Amino acid sequence: MSDTARTNGTVLTAALVVVLCGAEVAVIGSGMGDGARYGLGAVVLVALLAAVHRLSRAARRSSR
């Protein structure tokens, strides 16, 4: 994979983390019912953790 493609992927993943953080705050602060809020919040949280894990792997690869 080229450095440019890796950098673009890292930037997109970092942007996704920011968007997911905002989505998590919006879900938690929304007026939805508890079940829907917790369910949707859990889905967003799992996606957020996956994106952070992907960023950490990219950081480890770039430091080698």
Q: What is the pLDDT of residue 26?
A: 93
Q: What is the pLDDT of residue 5?
A: 66
* Residue 1: pLDDT over 70: no
The model's pLDDT over 9-49, given as tens digits with 9 standing for 90+, comes to: 888 999 999 999 999 999 989 999 999 999 999 999 999 99
The region, left, alpha or beta by phi > 0 then psi within -120 to 50, assigned to residue 45 is alpha
Q: What is the pLDDT of residue 3?
A: 65
Q: What is the pLDDT of residue 22?
A: 94
Which one-letter amino acid corresponds to residue 50?
A
Crossing angle of helices 34-62 and 3-28, in 10° steps, is: 160
* Residue 2: pLDDT over 70: no
